[in-house]
Chains A and B, each alone.
Chain A
C-alpha cells in the first residue's frame, strides 16, 4: 500500500499539523512516512500545503506532481490541485469559501462542512481534525487506535487535555463526509 496525499489551504488552518498527525499515525502503525511542507514564497503569501506519503515500502520521491488524494481547503488550492489528482483518485474539500466547485468526472469527489461544524461545536481550531476524520472514513489507511497514538505524539503534553476534543472532532468528521460525485 502506498497513499500519496496533498493537503492544501490557508496558513493557520492547521494544514501542516494535520499532515503531521497523519504521518505520526502511519509511523505508529509501522509504516514508512514522509511529510514535505511548502516553505517557500507561497507560504509567505498565506497559502500552505504539505505532501504526505504513507507506504508499506521505502518511499522514493517526497515531492510529487500527481496524488492519490487531494484534501483542499481554499479556492487557490482548488485551482492549483484539482488537476493533479490521479484518475480514479480522491478529492476531499470543505465548501466554505469555495466559489468554483470541482468539476472532474474521472475522480471521486467528497465534501465535508468542517468549518461550519467546528464553529457550531464552539471550537474552530479542531476544524482540521474534522477534515482528517472525513479522510480516514473515505480511506481507512491507518487504524483509529494509531491515529490516537499519533495525536498524542504530535500534540505537546501540556495540551493533552485537548485530546478528547480532537477525538470528538475526528468522529464528527467521519460521520459528516458526503460523496458529491
Chain B
C-alpha cells in the first residue's frame, strides 16, 4: 500500500493520530499555541468518522475531570493544553495518577511563569517529570522532536498508559506544535467495542454484572497503612517503567568529545549547532532524550566515561540539567545553556556556548 504523506502542523498531526488510533474521547479547552488540536478535531467531526467524542469543556479543570471519568470507564481519552492550562489540570492529573488510570495529556509548552507568553519554551520540565500535582506520583513523559514524533506519540502514549495504568504526558513546545513537516499517517484503527473494553480493562466501571464484585475507582484511602502499601506499589511500578521504558537517540556519539544533551525542539536546534561545530573540527555528538521520565541515567553515566563534557541545551533557566548532573555524578563537567521566556536560541549561540562553557571553561 502506498504511504499516505501529508504536510501538517504538530498540533494537527497529534489530533489526526488520536482519531486514527481509535481514541474514544478528546476533552479540552483552547489556548495558544495548541488551539489547532481542538480546531482540527472539531473540523474533522470524528464522531462521524469513528464515533469519537470531541468536546470543548467550560474550563481546563472540567476537561481533565471529564478525562478522569472517561478513563475510569476504560476509554481511550486525550486532553491537551499549554502551560497555564496544564497548571490548572494538576489536581485532576494527581487524582488520575492516584486512581491508576490511563490517559494521554499533551502540553504544548509556552513561556512562563504565570500567563507568561505565547512563544515556545521548555520551562515545564520540573512540573512534568517531578509530579506537578500533589503526592508521590510520576507521569510517563514523552518528548517529540518532530511532527512525525508528535503523530507517533499517540499510539505509543496510549500503549504505555494502558500497560502501566498511568497518565502519559506528551511534552512538546510551541515550535513542535506550530511547525509543519512531512507526516506518514498510519491506518485507521477501529475503536474497541464495549465487550473488548471489558476484557482489556476488568478494573473499569463498565456496569456491574452478577459475576463480579463492584469496581471502585478512587484515590482515597483514609487508613495510612493501606495508603503506604499503595504508595509502595506505585513506586514499584515507576521502577519497572524506569527499567523497561527508557527511550533516547544518540547522534554522532561514537567519536564525540563533547555531548549536547537536549530534547524536543532544543534537540533540533542542537543538531544544527553540531553541524557548525563539526565543520570547525570539534567532535560533538547529540544525546536526544525521547523519554524524560524515565530519564536515561544509566546510559548517560556510561557515556560519561568516553567524553570530555556535557552541555544541557534547553529553553529554560536550567531544569533538565539537574537530572543530567545526577546521572553523570561528577564524572565529567556538566554545564547548562538556555534562553527562556519564549526566546529561541540560535544554533550559532548553542555552538558558542559549548566552546565557551565546556571547551574554554
Q: Are A36 and B7 in contact (CB under 8 A)?
A: no
Q: Are A62 and B175 in contact (CB under 8 A)?
A: yes
Q: Are B7 and A64 in contact (CB under 8 A)?
A: no
Report if A20 contacts B (CB, 8 A).
Answer: yes
| Contact (A60, B271) CB under 8 Å given A33-B181, A40-B118 | yes
Beta-carbon contacts of B26-55 to A below 8 Å, as 1s and 0s?
A: 000000110000000000000000000000
Q: Are B180 and A35 in contact (CB under 8 A)?
A: yes
Range class of the B interface residue count: 20 to 34
In Å, the complex CA distance between A40 and B275 comes to: 28
Q: Which of B33, B181, B268 has the most CB of A within 10 A?
A: B181
Q: Are A62 and B268 in contact (CB under 8 A)?
A: yes
Query: How near does chain A come to B192, taking the closest CB pair, in angstroms?
Result: 33
Q: Are A23 and B180 in contact (CB under 8 A)?
A: yes
In the complex formed, the residue of A with least CB distance to B349 is A65
Q: Are A27 and B268 in contact (CB under 8 A)?
A: no
In Å, the complex CA distance between A72 and B266 comes to: 28
Pick the contact of A35 from B174, B179, B268 — CB < 8 Å?
B179
In Å, the complex CA distance between A67 and B180 comes to: 18
Q: Which of A27, A37, A41 has the most CB of B within 10 A?
A: A27
Pick the contact of A60 from B275, B342, B344, B346 — CB < 8 Å?
B275
Name A1-53 residues within 8 Å CB distance of B.
20, 23-24, 27, 32-37, 39-41
Report if A63 contacts B (CB, 8 A).
Answer: yes
Q: Are A60 and B268 in contact (CB under 8 A)?
A: yes
Query: How near does chain B come to A24, taking the closest CB pair, in angstroms?
Result: 5
Q: Are A40 and B119 in contact (CB under 8 A)?
A: yes
In Å, the complex CA distance between A96 and B105 comes to: 47
Query: How near does chain B come to A64, taking the closest CB pair, in angstroms?
Result: 7
In Å, the complex CA distance between A43 and B75 comes to: 39
In the complex, what residues of B have CB within 8 A of residue A27's CB?
5, 7, 182
Query: How near does chain B come to A112, taking the closest CB pair, in angstroms?
Result: 25
Q: Are A20 and B180 in contact (CB under 8 A)?
A: yes
Q: Are B180 and A60 in contact (CB under 8 A)?
A: no
Q: Which of A35, A37, A62 has the most CB of B within 10 A?
A: A62
| Contact (A34, B180) CB under 8 Å given A40-B119, A60-B268, A60-B275 | yes
Report if B254 contacts A (CB, 8 A).
Answer: no
Report if B228 contacts A (CB, 8 A).
Answer: no
Task: List chain A positions with a Cβ less than 8 A from chain B.
Answer: 20, 23-24, 27, 32-37, 39-41, 59-65, 153
Some 21 contacts from A to B, beta carbons below 8 A apart, are: A20-B7, A23-B7, A23-B180, A27-B7, A27-B182, A32-B181, A33-B7, A34-B180, A35-B179, A36-B178, A39-B118, A39-B178, A40-B117, A60-B269, A60-B275, A61-B268, A61-B269, A61-B272, A62-B265, A65-B346, A65-B347
List the 7 closest A-B pairs by CB distance, nearest first. Answer: A60-B271, A61-B272, A35-B180, A65-B346, A60-B272, A36-B179, A61-B269
